[in-house]
């Protein structure tokens, strides 16, 4: 085994880039730690400038304007604000929301909350590969539909949706479109001018930035009611004193993502394909979950029939390989993955899914070692 564990869980979170940590440090100590961006004195103005500069950097990642970025405390909060804030701000009679059945729980639980408040919610099922069809969403559209939320790429199986076509159809019916791009922003070019969404959620810790900060891009003119109140921060979209250090880190991470994204995507996708090939050797019934080609460069989700995912995970962890079963925030649950069930897997196979997600620091040596350990564990569990 390697001296330190092999980390293959970048979809859950990424390690903080040293350049990001350096950018954050002055705002955690010394003069930078004094300033509240809402204060008009010297230190407040320093903090405000830092936040504004970071807003420019995050906007650049999306080819957007700085005024369209609202900082939040996480990607989850950005999703909450997109759904709850938009639905609560909708015109009377526009109380219908459409979401896919494979959304992150940040979206699904927001939809459930709205349903308890009296809104009408429709869930759209994907096909076997995790794709949401334009026709299935169109069939669910109503005159009272206010918002449709379909994630750009799934965090468990990596399937990438045709967001532009979905958004165009939704707009033709007079509704708004939101996408959770938390997983895609670190690996794919996202241009708000061509993606044609009205709201886009992203966060820092998936792109080698700090935890505890996210952002919601809001198309000008889109009405969103705040879900956290108590101050006029973030253009009255999100009350609370801004976390200056984390926001600065987000800005730096966004800039570094623009510099490294294309090269990272090519290298990581090659390693992912290598990993799939190695895992498949000796396990002829290994099942790939998600679309075979329209998937994130770093994502590989597989099931081994007859072996529970939790058992595989525990054994891999004992051998120093860090991976996930479904979404990290629900990995403590014994319930089968809602995503794998939604694409038609049986409860046993949906409980057997293991997600490998690779990143900037992943090496070929680590991929080969992880595959070898995986084979040994499967062989032992089957015999």
Q: What is the secondary structure of 305-350 as a DSSP string?
A: TTS-HHHHHHHHHHTTEE-BSS-GGGTT--SPPHHHHHTT--HHHH
Query: What pLDDT is recorded for position 94?
Result: 97
Cβ atoms 312, 380 nearer than 8 A: no
Cβ atoms 252, 47 nearer than 8 A: no
Kindly name the residue from 197, 203, 322, 329 that is annotated as catalytic. 329
Sort residue 240 into left (φ over 0), alpha (ψ -120 to 50) or beta: left
Query: Which letter, b or e, does each residue of 93-103 get, where b requires 16 or more Cβ atoms within 10 Å of its Cβ?
Result: ebbbbbbbebb
Cβ atoms 326, 355 nearer than 8 A: yes
Among 26-40, 230-244, 334-348, the least confident range? 334-348
Query: What pLDDT is recorded for position 167?
Result: 98
327 band by pLDDT with thresholds 50, 70 and 90: very low
Query: Which letter, b or e, does each residue of 340-372 get, where b requires 16 or more Cβ atoms within 10 Å of its Cβ?
Result: bbbbebeeebbbbbbbbbbbbebeeebbebbbe
The count of C-alpha atoms lying within 13 angstroms of the C-alpha of 370, restricted to the half-sphere facing its C-beta, is 31
325 band by pLDDT with thresholds 50, 70 and 90: confident
356 strand-pairing partners: 300
Would you give the DSSP letter of residue 81?
Answer: I
Strands 176-180 and 145-149, how do they pair?
parallel
Helix, strand or coil, per DSSP, at residue 69: strand
Query: What pLDDT is recorded for position 1?
Result: 47
Cα end-to-end span (Å), the chain: 22
Query: Exposure of 229 by Cβ count < 10 A (0-12 exposed, 13-18 middle, 19+ buried)?
Result: exposed
Please, what is the average pLDDT of the chain?
Answer: 95
- Average confidence (pLDDT) over 178-203: 97
- Average confidence (pLDDT) over 46-71: 98
pTM, to two decimals: 0.96
335 band by pLDDT with thresholds 50, 70 and 90: confident
Q: Report residue 352 as tokens.
A: 């057997």
Assigned fold of 6-15+261-382: 3.90.1150
Provide the percentage of residues in the chain whose pLDDT is more than 90.
Answer: 92
Query: What pLDDT is recorded for position 326?
Result: 61
Query: What pLDDT is recorded for position 309?
Result: 84
- Per residue in 293-313, pLDDT (tens digit) is 999 999 999 999 999 888 999
Q: Report residue 187 as tokens.
A: 């690996």
Angstrom distance (rounded) from CA 23 to CA 191: 26
Assigned fold of 18-256: 3.40.640
91 pLDDT higher than 80: yes
Query: What pLDDT is recorded for position 334?
Result: 58
Among 29-33, 214-218, 324-328, the least confident range? 324-328
Domain locations in the chain as residue ranges: 6-15+261-382, 18-256
203 is catalytic: no
At which residue do the structure tokens 């896919």 appear? Answer: 100
The count of C-alpha atoms lying within 13 angstroms of the C-alpha of 182, restricted to the half-sphere facing its C-beta, is 32
329 pLDDT higher than 60: no
- Per residue in 107-146, pLDDT (tens digit) is 999 999 999 999 999 999 999 999 999 999 999 999 999 9
Q: What is the dihedral of CA 79, 82, 83, 85, to 10 degrees?
A: 130
């Amino acid at each position: 085994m390697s001296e330190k564990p092999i980390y293959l869980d970048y979809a859950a979170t990424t390690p903080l880039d040293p350049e990001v940590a350096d950018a954050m440090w002055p705002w955690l100590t010394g003069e930078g730690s004094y300033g509240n961006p809402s204060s008009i004195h010297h230190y407040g103005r320093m903090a405000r400038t830092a936040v504004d500069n970071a807003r420019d950097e995050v906007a650049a990642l999306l080819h957007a304007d700085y005024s369209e970025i609202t900082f939040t405390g996480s990607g989850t909060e950005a999703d909450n604000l997109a759904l709850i804030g938009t639905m609560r701000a909708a015109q009377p009679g526009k109380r219908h929301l459409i979401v896919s059945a494979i959304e992150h729980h940040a979206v699904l639980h927001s939809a459930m909350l709205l349903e308890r408040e009296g809104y009408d919610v429709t869930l759209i099922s994907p096909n076997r590969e995790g794709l949401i069809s334009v026709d299935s969403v169109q069939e669910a559209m109503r005159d009272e539909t206010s918002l449709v939320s379909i994630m750009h790429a799934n965090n468990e199986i990596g399937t990438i949706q045709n967001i532009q076509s979905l958004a165009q159809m939704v707009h033709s019916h007079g509704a708004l479109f939101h996408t959770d791009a938390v997983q895609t922003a670190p690996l794919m070019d996202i241009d708000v001018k061509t993606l044609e969404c009205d709201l886009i959620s992203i966060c820092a810790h998936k792109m080698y930035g700090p935890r505890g900060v996210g952002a919601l891009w809001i198309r000008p003119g889109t009405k969103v009611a705040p879900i956290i109140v108590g101050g006029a921060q973030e253009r009255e979209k999100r009350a609370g004193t801004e976390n200056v250090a984390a926001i600065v880190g987000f800005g730096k991470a966004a800039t570094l993502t623009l510099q490294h994204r294309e090269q990272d995507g090519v290298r990581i996708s090659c390693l992912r394909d290598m990993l799939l090939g190695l895992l498949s050797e000796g396990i002829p019934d290994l099942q790939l979950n998600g679309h075979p080609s329209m998937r994130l460069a770093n994502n590989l989700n597989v099931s081994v029939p007859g072996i529970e995912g939790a058992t595989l995970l525990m054994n891999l962890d004992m051998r120093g390989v860090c991976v996930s079963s479904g979404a990290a925030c629900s990995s403590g649950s014994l319930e089968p993955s809602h995503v794998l069930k939604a694409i038609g897997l049986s409860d046993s196979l949906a409980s057997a899914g293991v997600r490998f997600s690779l990143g900037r620091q992943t090496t070929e040596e680590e991929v080969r070692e992880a595959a070898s350990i995986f084979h040994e564990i499967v062989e032992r569990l089957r015999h």
